[in-house]
Amino acid sequence: MNNAAPAPARTRGRPRGNPPTREAIVSAARTLFLERGYRGTTVRAVAAVAGVDAALIAYHFGSKKGLFADVMQFQCANALAVDHVLVGDPATLPERLIEAVTGLWEDADFLTLTAQGDEAAEVIREYLESELLGRLVEFLGGRDATARATAVVTILGGLIYTRYLNPLPTPAALTTSEIREILTPALRAALAPRPRTLTTTGAGRRGSSAPA
């Protein structure tokens, strides 16, 4: 299939110099994932484009899902533009957060990446629950920053879940503006510092399980 060229370049053992294998895989994966989506992209295809053995993907990234997560970490960082969302008036942070998340779904790239079903969306949710959460904690600061950030991420994770991962039948689905209307106050409440040391029910960690 690939090079029948006289160069049997792929010898066994450790390669010569400092091979940029990882980057080659990520680059090929980004292209193919965006082009054919998650399910439509096979590890073997990525490996072929990158010019490496398929087993190397499992070796470097653990699994196909891990590779996807790696690609998305880059892609999400660009699309979500976390830093860009965080700067600005804290009072309007909820609006910017919602816009960033809903905006993902108007991004064609994201749709082809994400509208494939199973593991792909988990990766995105997990991204939110790690990367965004860390940034938020750092941004919010203060004593209960973690709790507040968790609450925010929980809400956003639920949004992603109901919008994509387990989408409701279209009549029940909310439009973007409805989402904005409904979720903004919730986010504002979640972001607000605790008024006092009430037993504020401690925002539940996992908020993404759906009834059916």
Partner DNA sequence: CGGCGTTATTCATCAACGTTGAGCCTGCGG
Partner DNA sequence: CCGCAGGCTCAACGTTGATGAATAACGCCG
CB closer to DNA out of 30 and 148: 30
Q: What is the footprint of DNA within residues 6-25 (CB under 7 A)?
A: 10-22
**Site size with DNA, rule: CB under 7 A:** 31
CB closer to DNA out of 55 and 87: 55
202 binds DNA (CB under 7 A): no
Q: How far is CA 138 from CA 54, 66, 121, 141, 204, in A?
A: 38, 26, 25, 5, 20
Q: Tell me how far, at minimum, the Cβ of 118 lies from DNA, in Å.
A: 10
Question: What is the distance between the alpha carbons of residues 99 and 176, in angstroms, rounded to a whole number?
Answer: 9
63 binds DNA (CB under 7 A): yes
Question: What is the distance between the alpha carbons of residues 178 and 158, in angstroms, rounded to a whole number?
Answer: 15
Helical H runs in the chain?
21-36, 43-50, 55-61, 64-80, 82-86, 93-105, 108-114, 118-127, 133-140, 145-160, 176-191
Neighbours of 105 (CB within 10 A): 16
Q: How far is CA 49 from the centre of its chain?
A: 24
From residue 40 to residue 59, what is the string marking binding to DNA with x (rule CB under 7 A)? -xxxxx------xxxxxxxx
92 binds DNA (CB under 7 A): no
64 binds DNA (CB under 7 A): yes
Question: What is the distance between the alpha carbons of residues 140 and 4, in angstroms, rounded to a whole number?
Answer: 57
CB closer to DNA out of 62 and 202: 62
Instruction: Assess contact for 128 and 157: CB atoms under 8 A.
Output: yes
71 binds DNA (CB under 7 A): no
Q: Tell me how far, at minimum, the Cβ of 40 lies from DNA, in Å.
A: 9
Residues 6+ apart with CB under 8 A from 22: 60
CB closer to DNA out of 55 and 81: 55
CB closer to DNA out of 1 and 91: 1
* The one among 31, 34, 60, 126 contacting DNA by CB under 7 A: 60
Residues that bind DNA (CB under 7 A): 10-22, 41-45, 52-60, 62-65
